[in-house]
Chains A and B, each alone.
Chain A
């Protein structure tokens, strides 16, 4: 080995890169996390009332599921581009696109969770004098929580991956580093940012899994009794807008 630094030789893995550009890397990661968290949070805030509406009034169910499904079909580059005239080159554009994608997963999961609440539980609560709101907040939502959180996990993982496409408008978090690295064929930067993306997705998933376990202790007890829950046909669709 000569005395050349790995930045000059453009190595894939380069300690020098982490030392000299750690600030850039941190900023991009923070932006990535912020965009993801804000998108999923807004997505959840919109999906919950939509799911409740779809459940209460069957007339809305078809359109709500249909529209969110169609949105999910749109390629991400097209989605962000279509929002361009509305938001201009801004982080709001990226967040809006990601929110629209998360709606499909979240609405369907919340709806499925609510519909899986046993009728006996509802009857019992009504018999105890629960009104519709109290029934929803104290019985139905907690029982739907596992499905809801499973939806949040999937939405979060795919949002972390999709955020990178925001690089097209310079708000892609780590994606922006990846795209810059392409122009300059800066291997260390592309690899570091890509790996960090995957690490973020896995970390987010594990964190939410932990939250899920903490919030729904009863599901674990249930799982011990029925170790092999039947896998629904439901498990199958692995769509992901790219």
Chain B
């Protein structure tokens, strides 16, 4: 076991492994390209639909069912199936399609539920103040749904990074190729080194998105502004937004389970 760790370290610190067509840097670029493009496409496709449905209060069963189906479908199977269809002749296309498909469920479900979770009395108050549907949407519902929308984007991003790794098993590029190549060469240090790189990238992306989510939270800014005015503690609205991986997620899985049960 220690051999593998020291071997992996040696592999990682050998500069030759970082360069060239099969090097870490090229694979990393491929990986980030897949992730970025697919996440952007998935957001453009899923978020407007989810936000609109959430605003109108329709299609909840659809949102939840899609994400449940997404959980049951093996990523590897979809990748391989797409690869051996005629689509497989178009280079990266099977990977890109599979990644978009897997990025959509968390985006859809989180954004939809985020919109539905907005307190109805707040929405009614806004309407009572004479806000139009559009204004309620952009000034009330969207900021309040923001934390969950961001959770969706984060979940989706992590999932795409993970799925892009599996693309290597279907013969496509990305960081997973370092691992699969290691397996083919029976080179355990390379397998472990590749796994470390992938793991670090996944965790890094998670952390970056958590931080970005907090920095850009519209409610946080609003809260601190009012806090300055009233010199009141700000922990109120921040709490909901600030615990993305903590207690807020706890029931997650359970809730989703019972949602499946109801549908």
State the A residues within 8 Å of B (CB).
Answer: 65-66, 69-70, 73-79, 81-82, 84-86, 105, 108-109, 111-113, 115, 146-147, 149-151, 153-155, 157-158, 160-165, 167-169, 172, 175, 178-179, 181-182, 185, 187, 190-191, 193-194, 197-198, 201-202, 205, 209, 212, 229, 231-242
Known: A85-B4, A182-B84. A161 touches B73 (CB 8 A): yes
Q: Are A233 and B77 in contact (CB under 8 A)?
A: no
Number of A-B contacts (CB under 8 A): 255
For the A-B complex with A172-B76, A238-B256 known, give 12 more contacts whose Cβ atoms are closer than 8 Å: A105-B253, A147-B251, A149-B257, A164-B76, A178-B76, A182-B170, A190-B84, A197-B74, A201-B71, A236-B252, A239-B159, A240-B159
Known: A111-B250, A231-B255. A160 touches B159 (CB 8 A): no
Nearest B residue to A77 via CB reads B165
- B163 neighbours in A (Cβ, 8 Å): 75, 242
Q: Are A234 and B158 in contact (CB under 8 A)?
A: no
Known: A73-B158, A239-B159. A81 touches B258 (CB 8 A): no
Query: Which one of A70, A150, A179 contacts B254 once the chains associate, using CB atoms below 8 Å?
Result: A150
Q: Are B202 and A75 in contact (CB under 8 A)?
A: yes
Counting chain B residues whose Cβ lies within 8 A of the other chain, the interface size class is 35 or more
Query: Which one of A70, A113, A179, A229 contacts B80 once the chains associate, using CB atoms below 8 Å?
Result: A179
CB of B64 within 8 Å of the partner chain: yes
Interface flags, B156-196, vs A, CB<8A=1, else 0: 00110111011011110000100110110000100110111
State in angstroms the CA–CA spacing of A169 and B39 once bound together.
Answer: 29
CB of B12 within 8 Å of the partner chain: no
Q: Are B161 and A161 in contact (CB under 8 A)?
A: no
- A233 neighbours in B (Cβ, 8 Å): 113-114, 117, 148, 240, 248
Interface flags, B1-16, vs A, CB<8A=1, else 0: 1011100000000000
CB of B261 within 8 Å of the partner chain: yes
CB of B95 within 8 Å of the partner chain: no
12 A–B contact pairs at CB < 8 A? Answer: A78-B195, A84-B188, A85-B1, A112-B250, A155-B253, A160-B74, A161-B74, A165-B166, A190-B80, A191-B81, A232-B251, A238-B110
- A162 neighbours in B (Cβ, 8 Å): 74
Q: Are B192 and A242 in contact (CB under 8 A)?
A: no
- B233 neighbours in A (Cβ, 8 Å): none
- A69 neighbours in B (Cβ, 8 Å): 245, 249
Shortest distance from the beta carbon of B243 to any chain A beta carbon, whole Å: 10
How would you classify the secondary structure of chain B's contact residues: helix, strand, loop or mixed?
A: helix
State the B residues within 8 Å of A (CB).
Answer: 1, 3-5, 64, 67-68, 70-78, 80-81, 83-84, 102, 105-106, 109-110, 113-114, 116-117, 148, 151-152, 155, 158-159, 161-163, 165-166, 168-171, 176, 179-180, 182-183, 188, 191-192, 194-196, 198-199, 202-203, 206, 240, 245-246, 248-261
State in angstroms the CA–CA spacing of A147 and B258 once bound together.
Answer: 8
Q: Are A193 and B77 in contact (CB under 8 A)?
A: yes
Query: Which one of A147, A164, A182, A237 contacts B249 once the chains associate, using CB atoms below 8 Å?
Result: A237
Known: A158-B71, A235-B255. A82 touches B84 (CB 8 A): no
Shortest distance from the beta carbon of B196 to any chain A beta carbon, whole Å: 7
- B195 neighbours in A (Cβ, 8 Å): 77-79, 81-82, 84
Q: Are B161 and A75 in contact (CB under 8 A)?
A: yes
- B114 neighbours in A (Cβ, 8 Å): 233, 236
State in angstroms the CA–CA spacing of A141 and B38 once bound together.
Answer: 43
3 closest A-B pairs by CB: A150-B257, A234-B251, A85-B4
Q: Are A185 and B72 in contact (CB under 8 A)?
A: no
Q: Are A81 and B179 in contact (CB under 8 A)?
A: yes
- B158 neighbours in A (Cβ, 8 Å): 73, 239
Q: Are B71 and A154 in contact (CB under 8 A)?
A: yes
State in angstroms the CA–CA spacing of A197 and B3 once bound together.
Answer: 37
Q: Are B257 and A175 in contact (CB under 8 A)?
A: no
- B245 neighbours in A (Cβ, 8 Å): 66, 69
Nearest A residue to B112 via CB reads A236
Query: Which one of B67, B109, B171 contacts A182 once the chains associate, using CB atoms below 8 Å?
Result: B171
